[in-house]
Amino acid sequence: MSMIAVVDYGMGNLRSVDKALEHVAQSGQHVHITSKAEDIVSADRVVFPGQGAARDCMRELTERHLIEPVLQAAREKPFLGICMGLQVLMSRSEENDGVDCMGLYQGEVRFFGKELNKDQSIEPLKIPHMGWNNVTQTISHPLWHGIKQGSRFYFVHSYYVDPVNEAIVAGETSYDIVFTSAVACDNVFAVQFHPEKSAVDGLQLLKNFTLWDGQ
Amino acid sequence: MSLAKRIIPCLDVDNGRVVKGVKFVDIRDAGDPVEVARRYDKEGADEITFLDITASSDDRDTIVHVVEHVAEEVFIPLTVGGGIRKLEDVRTMLNAGADKVAINTAAVFNPDFVKEASDRVGSQCIVVAIDAKQISADGEPLRWEIFTHGGRKPTGLDAVEWARKMVEYGAGEILLTSMDRDGTRMGFDIALTHTIAEAVSVPVIASGGVGNLEHLAEGVLQGMADAVLAASIFHFAEFSVHDAKAYMAGRGIEVRL
């Protein structure tokens, strides 16, 4: 029996992530929602979702003593970050007047509003960036397997990651500006969109994750 | 390559069955919600909205089971509205597998509930549903008022001011229904849609009055809506969601095909 741990820190709708993973899991794979450090450490694969505000996510992770186990998992086993689970891997977020994040990758999490709507002559873009947008795959990766270049995924967010090291960018999306919508580095893959809500292509990405050895 | 305009089929659910009334009367049975949701997903719906119109609160559990079943096999965003009055209702729906809840009447009676809910679960989960009716007479500057109870009870609230206030309180999206048009198949109230879409910074879903595919396109092109919601044109298989998307694409609208 191999275990896919879905990290529960009270932020976001784990039920959707859990159901989608169950739907694509291989036989012998067990999906387990957990907030226990030992489960995260002993799991074969870790999914790190998240929704809501950066400050609340970091507070919950800290109070539940999950920062170290999550970082450890991100260093050694197949690891999938989703939405806020991508953002808190960065050094710092602009949200809530500035929040220190987990710092696995150098870079800021920035608010869309500063860049959007500078051009007064066109209809202003809405925030949050909500709905189905194209993802340009900037590298080939096992998690993009079977997914067409430029496929649409479901997004809902007001902040985006801006990694210092461009080599970790795995996907980009345009919403007035071009921003990083997927990151890949060693055994970590993390996405701004919601694969669990992105119909066939989202399920394919999750299925790819269940098969990925982290190489 | 940009964000697609969304097409959202809406299922009015009464005691576990999909129904659609004309101006909230003459309710016709349109099937099992799980089956209908499955069909919309296959046809390429971008999201699905369930509005629970069950009168008795004792029967509310039915919608929870519907959402649970749908969420097990449909992997696109699901919104549930109707009878969301307290934080516990929000949690119950999200735990059942909904991604967003639509708050309507409870927002009018207790605006702080929107604040509380968005603080707890995040604005991305909170849709505020607004039912508006034109109150200005012909020749007067256009004005709309918020109504509750299926368009029967006026509240004295101005629709534009109310929409702005709800966004300030944490609404991540506005579901805007014209009570003048709902069920009439005459098309969206374009002036209302455009006015609200321009007034708020969050996405606006146009609703109420769709009778053909051109109406959907109008909602986006003239109403400036970010998403369009329709019920009856999809329920009775007059048009599939795919037909609607193909039509909109032909009108130059970016859609997910």
Q: Which residue has the tokens 């270049």?
A: A149
**Nearest-CB residue to B75 (from A126, A128, A196):** A196
Residues in B lying within 8 Å of A, measured between beta carbons? 1-6, 41, 46, 71-73, 75-77, 94-99, 121-125, 172-173, 201-204, 224, 226-227, 256
Residue B161 · residue B150 · CB < 8 Å: no
Phi, psi of B216 (to 5 degrees): -65, -45
**B97, A16: Cβ pair inside 8 Å?**
yes
* The predicted structure's pLDDT at residue B24: 46
For residue B256, tell me if it sits in a domain: no
Higher local confidence (pLDDT), B58 or A99: A99
SS3 content of chain A, % helix, strand, coil (to 5): 30, 35, 35
Q: A174 touching B, CB under 8 A?
A: yes
Domain of A178: which CATH number?
Answer: 3.40.50.880
Reference B159, options B184, B172, B185, B177; nearest CA is B177
Q: By C-alpha distance, which of B216, B224, B177, B202 is closest to A112?
A: B202
Q: How far apart are CA A77 and CA A213, in angstroms?
A: 8
Q: What is d(CA A86, CA A68) in angstroms, rounded to the nearest whole number?
A: 16
**Structure tokens that stand for A7 in this block:** 């990290």
Domain hosting B116: range is 6-250
pLDDT in tens, B233-250: 888 778 999 999 999 999
Q: Is A117 left (phi over 0), alpha (psi -120 to 50) or beta?
A: left
Domain for residue B112, yes or no? yes
| In-domain check, residue B145 | yes
Residue B78 is assigned to a structural domain of this protein: yes
From first CA to last CA, the distance across chain B in angstroms is 12
**d(C-alpha A203, C-alpha B164), whole Å:** 37
Tell me how many domains chain B contains. 1
Instruction: Report the alpha-carbon distance of residue B86 to residue B101 in Å, rounded.
Output: 11
Residue B190's pLDDT is 98
Smallest CA–CA distance, residue B152 to chain A, in Å, is: 32
Q: Which residues of chain B does A154 touch, with a Cβ-Cβ cutoff of 8 Å?
A: 76-77
Closest Cβ opposite residue A128 in set B41, B75, B172: B172
Helix-helix angle B61-73:B33-42, to 10 degrees:
30
CA distance linking residue B194 with residue A36, whole number of Å = 49
- Residue carrying structure tokens 């019920």: B231
pLDDT number for residue B150: 77
- CA of A73 vs chain B CAs: smallest distance (Å): 26
**d(CA A178, nearest CA chain B) in Å:** 10
Structure tokens at A52: 């809501």
pLDDT number for residue B1? 66
- In the block, residue with structure tokens 């009270």: A10
Q: What is the largest CA-CA distance in chain B?
A: 52
Percent of chain B with pLDDT over 70: 94
Average pLDDT on B69-76 reads: 95
What does each of the 215 residues of chain A score in pLDDT, given as a tens digit?
A: 899 999 998 877 788 899 999 999 999 999 999 999 999 999 999 999 988 888 989 999 999 999 999 999 999 999 999 999 999 999 999 998 899 999 999 999 999 876 555 555 566 789 999 999 999 999 999 999 999 999 999 999 999 999 999 999 999 999 989 999 999 999 999 999 999 999 999 999 999 999 999 99
CATH at residue B15: 3.20.20.70
What is the secondary structure of A63-97 as a DSSP string? HTT-HHHHHHHHHHS-EEEETHHHHTTEEEE-GGG
Q: How many domains does chain A have?
A: 1
Give pLDDT, residue B232. Answer: 85
Q: Determine the Cα–Cα distance for residues B234 and B200; give it in Å rounded to an integer.
A: 29
Instruction: Label residue B152 by pLDDT band (50, 70, 90).
Output: confident
- The answer to whether B81 touches B52, Cβ cutoff 8 Å, is yes
User: Is A96 near chain B, with CB under 8 Å?
Assistant: no
- Give the domain extent around A183: 2-211
In terms of pLDDT, which residue wins out, A16 or B27?
A16
Residue B109 lies in a domain: yes
